[in-house]
């Protein structure tokens, strides 16, 4: 079974703090993704990576950065957390060269910025 794990299920941070969200997958997937999920807005792509040290901006990258130093690990960084970044953050991974395109999601991190 593919497993995508996220470092925290719940996180509470203060405005201005630097926040790290970690994601690890165990299926040797090439692609990894970070989404945020908000009611009525669905899932919106923040960043994705198709290889180690490679990254591409998604639809809402402002206020976020990412790091992928190892194939299995993809980190999302909030340089200076703000209240409008309070959300559910979902990590996902997928094979890079198979036709199924299926994405496997972690359980999510609910981040509250106060």
Partner 1 sequence: QQQVKQSPQSLIVQKGGIPIINCAYENTAFDYFPWYQQFPGKGPALLIAIRPDVSEKKEGRFTISFNKSAKQFSLHIMDSQPGDSATYFCAPQTGGTYKYIFGTGTRLKVLA
Interface with partner 1, residue 21, by CB under 8 A: no
Backbone torsions φ then ψ of 53, nearest 5 degrees: 65, 5
Is 34 within 8 Å of 23 (Cβ atoms)?
Answer: yes
Q: Which residues, in sequence order, are CB contacts of 88 under 8 Å at separation 6+?
A: 36, 37, 38, 108, 109, 110, 111
Q: How is residue 85 annotated by DSSP?
A: G
Is 106 within 8 Å of 5 (Cβ atoms)?
Answer: yes
**From candidates 14, 18, 102, 114, binder to partner 1 by CB under 8 A:** 102
Q: How far is the CB of 80 from partner 1 (least distance, A)?
A: 26
Q: How far is the CB of 59 from partner 1 (least distance, A)?
A: 7
Binding segment toward partner 1, per CB under 8 A, in 14-22, 65-73, 76-84, 91-99: 91-99
Q: Tell the residue number behind the tokens 């901006």, with chain if given.
A: 57
Binding mask 48-77 for partner 1 (x = CB under 8 A): x-x-------xx------------------
Name the residues that contact partner 1, by CB under 8 A: 4, 31, 35, 40-45, 48, 50, 58-59, 90, 92, 94, 96, 99-108
């Amino acid at each position: 079974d593919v497993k995508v794990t996220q470092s925290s299920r719940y996180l509470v941070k203060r405005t201005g703090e630097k926040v790290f969200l970690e994601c690890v997958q165990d299926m040797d997937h090439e692609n990894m993704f970070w989404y945020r999920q908000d009611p009525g807005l669905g899932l919106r792509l923040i960043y994705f990576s198709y290889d180690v040290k490679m990254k591409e901006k998604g639809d809402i990258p402002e206020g976020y950065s990412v790091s992928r130093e190892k194939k299995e690990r993809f980190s999302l960084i909030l340089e200076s957390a703000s209240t409008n970044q309070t959300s559910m953050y979902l990590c996902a991974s997928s094979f890079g060269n198979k036709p199924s395109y299926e994405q496997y999601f972690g359980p999510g991190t609910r981040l509250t910025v106060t």
